[in-house]
Amino acid sequence: MSAVEINELTVRAGSKVLVDNVTICVEPGTWMTVIGRNGAGKTTLVEAVAGIRRISSGSISVSGQPMASLNERERARLIALVPQRPSIPNGMDVKDYVALGRTAYHGLLRAPSASDRAIVESVLERMSLTEFAHRDVATLSGGERQRMVLARALAQSTKVIVLDEPTTGLDLRHQMDLLELLKTEVAECGLTIVATLHDLTLAGQFADRLVLLDRGEVVLDGPAHEVIRSDELGRCYEMTLRVIDIDGFEVTVPVRAGNE
């Protein structure tokens, strides 16, 4: 069974087609990243997968469950979302924020169980946030804040996590730290990731599979190293790209016009 199955998905905003007849199956325990220029439909696609964007036609299933037939609480037990600009309430400490990930299991009016509390403690430890557990969320740095948002998603105990540009606003070190944490979750816990990334080098290094979108349509879908080295990538970005192998890692370099 596929972890995520997208079948002939179309999303419109008025008369504009944002995602056009997309079909993708994501296998369990793999990392798929959607790439493409601004306006290609990346965020629309992953928001549709997460169940927060209304679709015009087609279907999406997660772990064999049709998303259209599920209520919000049922969806939250199947798939977690790390949005590009998360809303974080003022006056909370880190532990309480991460514990919000358990709301789908005990509801808003019931106290968390011992199992819920144990899951939160485990996630805080895995994300190296234990020492920040009682810190006000407003005092965190950008990297600490992003780890906290990811920790809340992991606390939902879903098999699938959707991430929309999870490295936005982070410096290079914090970008790598966050992506390495995610890679560990994929390798050790069998997590399935559906993400978007602007940085082609990071996308190629961390994802198992890349889906290249252009004007809402899938142009390429395949192993990361094949998509990164494809001619279609440069054509979609309308620029010359060079891929350089550095110690076994592929680095994608844009070439200035006139220097091809």
Annotated domain spans of the chain: 1-78+159-260, 85-157
> For each successive 10 residues of the chain (260 residues), what is the average pLDDT?
95 96 97 96 96 95 94 93 88 94 82 89 93 94 91 95 92 91 93 96 96 97 95 92 88 79
The reported pLDDT for the residue numbered 87 is 85
The pLDDT assigned to 113 comes to 84
Quick one: pLDDT at residue 175?
Answer: 92
Contact between 195 and 34 under an 8 Å Cβ cutoff? The reply is yes
Residue 88: predicted pLDDT: 86
CA distances from 44 to 33, 73, 106, 116, 220 (A): 14, 21, 30, 32, 18
pLDDT at 248: 84
What would the CATH number be for the domain defined by 1-78+159-260?
3.40.50.300
- Looking at residue 232, what is its pLDDT? 94
Please report the pLDDT score of residue 106 as a whole number. Answer: 81
Instruction: Give the per-residue pLDDT at 69.
Output: 92
Gap between the Cα atoms of 7 and 165, Å rounded: 23
Q: What is the pLDDT of residue 86?
A: 87
Residue 7 sits at φ, ψ, to 5 deg, of -125, 110
CA distance linking residue 144 with residue 129, whole number of Å? 8
| This prediction's pTM | 0.92
* Alpha carbons 210 and 257: distance in angstroms, whole number: 26
Please give the Cα distance from 80 to 209 (Å, whole number).
20
pLDDT computed for residue 260 by the predictor = 56
* Helix residue ranges per DSSP H, the chain: 42-50, 72-76, 94-99, 103-106, 114-126, 142-155, 172-189, 200-206, 224-228, 231-237
